[in-house]
Structure formats: C-alpha cells, structure tokens
C-alpha cells in the first residue's frame, strides 16, 4: 500500500518531464494529470507492479466555470490503495483520449460523460449517447444548458396549476 | 363487437348484451406487464401472493396484443414515451390506461426541472384512471381497477344520442 505522495512520486519518476500535481491527499490522492499524457500515465498506473491500479471504480465529469474536468477513481485490488486522476479539458474544444482500451469499464462511463457533459473521448469504440435519445440536442448537465420546450411533438414545458387553485 | 356498436337504439337486446359484455370485460381485465420505475415494484407486489390481483380476474399478459389495459407504472421519459405510445397502439380495442403514481400523472418530482420527463403521460396517450401517490400502495392500484370496472360497466353498444 502506497501513500498519496509515493504514488505521485512514482508517476513523476516513470514519466520524466510531465507535470503531476498532488492536489488532495484526504481521503485519497487526487493527482492532476495533463490530458496529453493521460493514456501513458494510465498504463503505468495499471501495469506497474508496485501500483497495479487494476480497477476503474468511477469515471465522472465536472463542469467548472472555467473548464471541464474528467475524474478517474482508481483502486488496486492487489495493494488495497486508491487514487484519483483529474484531467482538465478546455470548454471550447472538449476532447480527451479514451481509457476504454486500458480499463474496459470506462466504455459506458465515457459514453455517459459525453451524453451529459459533452466531453468527446477520442478513440472510443462506440461514441454514442447512452441515456438521452440519439437525436437529443445539447448536453443536459452542463451549467449553461437550456432545456428544450418540446421533443418529437411532446411538450416539455412546466405545466402550472390553474390560477384559481394557486390563489385559494 | 364493432358490427353492432352504434347501429341500434337502447333496445332490450342491446342493453342485455351490454350487461353480458360489460360483466365479462370488467371481470377479466388483463394488464400489460409493463413497469417503468419504482411504481412497478408496487404493481408487482399487487400482482403477487399478498394482494393477489388474480382474485379480481386480473393477471399480467406479456404482449400488448393480449392486453386490455395498460398500467403506466413509473416515470415516463421522452425517450420512453414513444415506446409507451407504440405499445398502446398495439393493444386491441377496447383498451384502457391506468396512470399510476405522481410521475405518470404530472411528472411528479420532475415536473419543474426534469428536462427529460413527460409532464403527465396523458400528453401522449389517453388515460382512464389516475392513482395519486409516490408510489401508491397496492391497495390503491386495486382501487383503480375497481374504479375502472365501474367505468366499463357504464359502457353501451347503443347508438349515442
């Protein structure tokens, strides 16, 4: 079992020149990873015998005011340690390489992150929407999302109760 | 059925036939096995041993072509609404719809901010009986079937004035 600082240090030594920032240590290491080196770092984390993060527990997307973020929660069955990777993605071109070839569990998570937040995962084998209808427009969990007033002829605007009932 | 329907006034043969048809229909309503969300758990419970819908002649059919009635048990999303409508259209006449729970009635907790929820399944298909509750208890579903039974008993083959 490695401490947060040890995991970060190990990543830095395996990828010299890349910038890994240890942002949080409680309850687990949260390491900021540049999106350009994400795939290489992910392979190191999975395959290195001292790290062996073999389980992608969760992949989530965050909409910050200035950027989008993808967060990967990893766990090692062998060493019983965990960490999280945080990748920042610019809002004007939300693209990040897929990790579904490294952890197959990422496939549907990445589809969900695309559907809800509009992050495009390059190299994904099946980059369709997963929850919304295939011809849905926009990404509903974005902060600037405007819900449609109707979809395929079904009205989606809020139906208010009649005035007489609300005033009484 | 449709050959006779609306052809004659309310004479003694038609009204007697009404009694027979309405009695047989209202005592053997076969709903479509079709649950969308948590209300379906209560629906399953109503159909299982403790509440036993079978004693009212109600048991679930796995295909819309054998079903008389449809229980909308759960949140209808816009993606599901098209499937709901298609299933409804596949059911043979006469057909009835029970809207079970707040979500199907009005959108429920999603009525204001649910971007993907239909604000009441009656925007998509006609509804005969609404059950309030979130989710309604199995007794409420049984009550809805008894209400629907009263509605069926008032139907007639006679020409409407």
Phi and psi at A69, nearest 5°, equal: -130, 145
Percent of chain B with pLDDT over 90: 61
- Is it the case that residue A24 has pLDDT exceeding 60? yes
- Give the residue on B whose Cα is nearest the Cα of A136: B79
- Give the residue on A whose Cα is nearest the Cα of B80: A133
Residue B5: per-residue pLDDT: 80
In chain B the domains, ranked by start, together with CATH numbers, are: 12-153 (3.40.50.12280)
Cβ neighbours of B88 (radius 10 Å) = 20
Classify A162 as helix, strand or coil.
Answer: coil
CB A112 within 8 A of CB A131: yes
- Report the alpha-carbon distance of residue B2 to residue A81 in Å, rounded: 71
Residue B87: per-residue pLDDT: 94
ipTM greater than cut 0.90: no
* Tens digits of residue pLDDT in B99-149: 999 999 988 888 888 888 998 899 999 999 999 999 999 999 999 999 999
* Tens digits of residue pLDDT in A81-126: 899 999 999 999 999 999 999 999 999 999 999 999 999 999 999 9
Q: Are strands B96-100 and B129-131 parallel, antiparallel or unpaired?
A: parallel
Give the HSE-up count for residue A115: Cα atoms under 13 Å, Cβ half-sphere: 18
- For residues A8-33, average pLDDT: 85
Residue A166's pLDDT band (cuts 50, 70, 90): low
Report CA A100 to chain centroid distance, whole Å: 12
Q: Are strands B129-131 and A55-63 parallel, antiparallel or unpaired?
A: unpaired
- For residues B39-59, average pLDDT: 91
- Say if the Cβ atoms of A158 and B78 lie within 8 Å: no
In chain A the domains, ranked by start, together with CATH numbers, are: 4-145 (3.30.460.80)
- Is it the case that residue B4 has pLDDT exceeding 80? no
Identify from B76, B102, B106, B116 which residue to disrupt to test chain A contact, counting A C-beta atoms within 10 A and taking the largest count: B116
Looking at the complex, does the CB of residue A77 fall below 8 Å from at least one CB of chain B?
A: no
Assigned token pair, B52: 């036993």
- Say if the Cβ atoms of A156 and B124 lie within 8 Å: no
* Tens digits of residue pLDDT in B12-47: 888 888 899 899 989 999 999 888 999 999 999 999
Beta strands in chain B (DSSP E): 31-32, 69-73, 96-100, 129-131
Cβ neighbours of B18 (radius 10 Å) = 17
Classify A152 as helix, strand or coil.
Answer: coil
* Tens digits of residue pLDDT in B59-100: 899 999 999 999 999 999 999 999 999 999 999 988 999 999
Of B112, B116, B123, the CB nearest to A155: B123
Per-residue CA distances from A60 to A77, A86, A110, A117, B84 (Å): 21, 10, 8, 10, 31
Assigned token pair, B136: 């309604």
């Amino acid at each position: 079992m490695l401490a947060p600082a040890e995991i970060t240090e190990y990543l830095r030594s395996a990828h010299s020149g890349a910038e890994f920032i240890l942002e949080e240590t409680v309850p687990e290491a949260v390491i900021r990873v540049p999106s350009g080196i994400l795939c290489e770092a992910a392979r190191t984390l999975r395959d290195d015998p001292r790290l062996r993060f073999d389980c992608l527990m969760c992949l989530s997307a965050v909409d910050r005011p200035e950027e989008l973020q993808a967060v990967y929660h990893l766990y090692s069955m062998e060493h019983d340690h965990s960490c999280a990777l945080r990748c920042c993605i610019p809002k004007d071109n939300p693209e990040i390489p897929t990790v579904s070839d490294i952890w197959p569990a990422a496939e549907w998570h990445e589809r969900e992150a695309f559907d809800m937040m509009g992050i495009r995962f390059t190299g994904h084998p099946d980059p369709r929407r997963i929850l919304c209808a295939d011809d849905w427009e926009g990404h509903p969990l974005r902060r600037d999302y405007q819900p449609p007033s109707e979809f395929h002829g079904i009205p989606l605007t809020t139906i208010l109760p009649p005035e007489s009932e609300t005033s009484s | 059925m449709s050959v006779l329907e609306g052809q004659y006034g309310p004479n003694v043969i038609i009204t007697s036939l009404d009694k027979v048809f309405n009695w047989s229909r209202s005592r053997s309503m076969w709903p479509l096995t079709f649950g969308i969300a948590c209300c379906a758990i209560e629906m399953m419970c109503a159909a299982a041993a403790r509440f036993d819908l079978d004693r009212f002649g109600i048991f679930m059919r796995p295909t819309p072509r054998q079903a008389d009635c449809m229980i909308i048990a759960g949140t209808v999303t816009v993606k599901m609404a098209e499937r709901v409508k298609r299933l409804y259209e596949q059911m043979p006449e006469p057909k009835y719809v029970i809207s079970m729970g707040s979500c199907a009635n009005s959108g429920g907790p999603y009525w204001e901010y649910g971007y993907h929820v239909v604000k009441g399944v009656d925007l998509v298909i006609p509804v005969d009986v609404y059950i309030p509750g979130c989710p309604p208890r199995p007794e409420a579903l049984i009550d809805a079937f008894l209400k629907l039974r009263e509605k069926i008993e008032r139907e007639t083959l006679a020409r409407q004035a």
